[in-house]
Structure 1
């Protein structure tokens, strides 16, 4: 069976336009009726209070509403469906289906790590799973994982959609967003009442492949977190099982295959004990367990490796019948993986190294976090008197103002064309769209400088790119600096790294 690719923009025309609203609760709510009531109250209030919303915006709470004392914040988390013809991510509510999912974050005491003794254990049979790290979802440790991912396409959202479709209504989800949407749809389909799973060869196995440092492992865990939220209306609880592949390998003949068989039996037991529990299994560097048997035979390797691969394949076949299990795998070495394993993969997706636009997004998020934390000072700002194009002096509207201005066609008044205006240095790195539109004729502004640097950093891994800004501030400054000075430090560190002289 060929592995599926992510849906094309043309195929997305078949998906109903849907906004995904995530409601973070202050404390755990145990009754499903409470969740249903929260969904109803918030949906009615949103439709009555807002005409337009934008993806990523946080909704101000109305404390007079019922159950609002339980709510921490409300976020417009994503959009799925046909392209709306705008690049601002602003959507009109009356044209959308609204998928509202309340959730509460689990704390760290729910974690059990097979390598750490003395931790509070989860309930049986989860506490019996060896060679794995187990945590309840959604978890506080993963709350920022999804937002840290920067891709050119909606990779995560499309994959998420492939994994979820609610049985009674059509849910639609956003390379991180498309990924998550695809996966959530698939899980919902497989739980459709009366559906005979034996008719279909769906294993709910997804394989992410690509160069080291491209974000595959983080995407898997972020996807598991997102799935646990989006599937809140289907499952009452969720758990993440991170398989430690190194612990499954043994120097003793025949022991590795036994350990692999045992952990899959334990996963099956955990899934069958509670059909209302969603189990997400993550196997990082799966080539450790699934290396090609043909290559092993031709090179004269010990047949113990072949037995290990056989037991891995049989373990995946056992999970095939369980609609509440999703398997996410990663590899840097797609060419060495056994063909029988690849044949069991439903979704095989390349996660490439960041492009220049994605690198810009990574640098932007890191620099703006340094601004937020106070390591970059934006209170003392510099000004330069230069002639500006009218569009460059328009004030930056808030998210809600942007939505309303887009809808009504209202424009910010333009200044006289021949006057000189003071450029006030940015208080943060602007979006790529703002850089291209507002600052294209200002090469020394922060946005264009970061964009030029991003072009020079193509080929670096996402892991390296994420640590460059903090290393730049530590190595090239000795006190709190302005944003412009921080960008200069980043330029120095990045060029050292590109030229092979840097610490990262």
Structure 2
């Protein structure tokens, strides 16, 4: 047990997320107290990160009101924490189900309206699990969360903007398919849960950047002002946290580049200047975060980049991250009875098995070791082809569709037959074939 020099027990913040049922009417603080009591008296000796908490259903309050209790990622480097050293941060939430609608701003005078954004009430049931499904190797998710906590701490302390400045603007850039937009949505979902003690409501406003350019000349600047006027109304009361997502922000700055070239000078400049002006207004508000994504960072105007507190490159996943993605896909197929129940090594255990069995052959190694070697080999093949996270998560259904004959030999309804699903080795072989098919398709495209 780790102790400080003065024998004070070191504690680590552990975030526990508690999802209520749709029909639950119990007060959040009652649930919070019940979870804390369960975790400290009945749970066990240690707690593991990124795991579902079990055996709480016997508690009357929790059993009637809670759907899931989940221990999120830890800030400390250890794999587990003794419950005595866990500073439990319990977040209770009740997600919305029917939660998305269009927010319109006016078009030209007397003309049709233009849909410029969609608004989603948070936390959203449709976004559950998205945060956990995004796998990066450089700690970008923790970095973004820590940034938000820092801005909130500075705001709560009334730090003088004239001395220390921040804009609450984040720019994510990188190749297509690396999960930039999904990460923004997942962060909005996570913040709506983590900040529920400060804000009663949360919203995600996704701006359609292309719609900000009106077909009516000189109206685009008004569209931007009208849209951000809606944002200001949302955050004015102070009890709602709003995340503004500008996807493909380069479409705005590309228009400014065209304006500077003289092809459409006034309207393009009005849009970008209006956007920058609105960002400067929002930075003084405590309950708003602006996130932007781009596939073409060189096209982004320097004035916008300069306003971003964080400019984060989101790369294609490395081999280790690919292993985790393929591992998560396989676990989902096992859960749904499409693949037979099998103990599949996670990344940490797979690395141990591979290192400890380098001299083994497929014929002499045990099944877990063979699965680790095979899944790591597939991960390396995907990395060699520079497949994005989006492409990786499409592979299982493509493998099933292309090689369904092999799969159908083992698939049953789960109500009869010896065992539902197909053997995991069959799935791995089909995945290997579809990865090879993808390589051949790419080679043909490059001819």
* TM-score category, normalised to shorter length: 0.7 to 0.9
Q: Which residue of 2 aligns with 1:181?
A: none
Q: Which residue of 1 aligns with 2:169?
A: 205
Residue aligned with 2:73, SS: strand
How many residues are treated as equivalent by the alignment? 399
Aligned mates of 1:251, 1:26 — CA distance in 2: 46
Residue from 103, 124, 142 that aligns with 1:139: 124
Greater Cα offset, 246-255 or 436-445:
436-445
Aligned mates of 1:291, 1:429 — CA distance in 2: 47
Residue from 406, 426, 429 that aligns with 1:488: 429
* TM-score normalised by length of structure 2: 0.83
Contact 1:41 1:65 in 2 (8 A): no
Note the residue ranges of structure 1 that are not aligned, 5 or more in a row. 1-14, 116-127, 165-184, 379-426
Residue aligned with 1:80, SS: coil
Report the alpha carbon displacement of residue 65 of structure 1 after superposing the two structures with TM. Answer: 5.4
Matching of residue 470 in structure 1 with residue 432 in structure 2: no
Report the alpha carbon displacement of residue 334 of structure 1 after superposing the two structures with TM. Answer: 1.0
Matching of residue 36 in structure 1 with residue 21 in structure 2: no
Report the alpha carbon displacement of residue 229 of structure 1 after superposing the two structures with TM. Answer: 0.3
Distance 1:433 1:503, change over 3 A: farther
Report the alpha carbon displacement of residue 492 of structure 1 after superposing the two structures with TM. Answer: 0.6
Matching of residue 448 in structure 1 with residue 443 in structure 2: no
Aligned mates of 1:244, 1:236 — CA distance in 2: 26
Q: Which residue of 1 aligns with 2:302?
A: 339
Distance 1:443 1:28, change over 3 A: farther
Residue from 239, 243, 247 that aligns with 1:276: 239
Q: Flag as ranges the 4+ runs of structure 1 deviating above 4 A.
A: 28-31, 65-68, 193-199, 501-504
Aligned mates of 1:148, 1:370 — CA distance in 2: 14
Report the alpha carbon displacement of residue 477 of structure 1 after superposing the two structures with TM. Answer: 2.5
Note the residue ranges of structure 2 that are not aligned, 5 or more in a row. 1-9, 105-112, 363-369, 412-421
Matching of residue 69 in structure 1 with residue 64 in structure 2: yes
Matches for 1:11-410 after TM superposition, within 5 Å: 17-27=12-22, 34-49=27-42, 50-59=44-53, 60-64=55-59, 66=61, 68-81=63-76, 83-84=77-78, 89-108=79-98, 110-114=99-103, 130-164=115-149, 185-186=150-151, 188-192=152-156, 194-197=158-161, 199-272=163-236, 274-291=237-254, 293=256, 295-296=257-258, 299-303=261-265, 304-378=267-341
* TM-score normalised by length of structure 1: 0.74
Contact 1:471 1:493 in 2 (8 A): yes
Aligned mates of 2:23, 2:141 — CA distance in 1: 27
Report the alpha carbon displacement of residue 332 of structure 1 after superposing the two structures with TM. Answer: 0.9
Contact 1:473 1:489 in 2 (8 A): yes
Residue from 436, 439, 445 that aligns with 2:351: 436
Greater Cα offset, 336-345 or 35-44:
35-44
Distance 1:268 1:323, change over 3 A: same
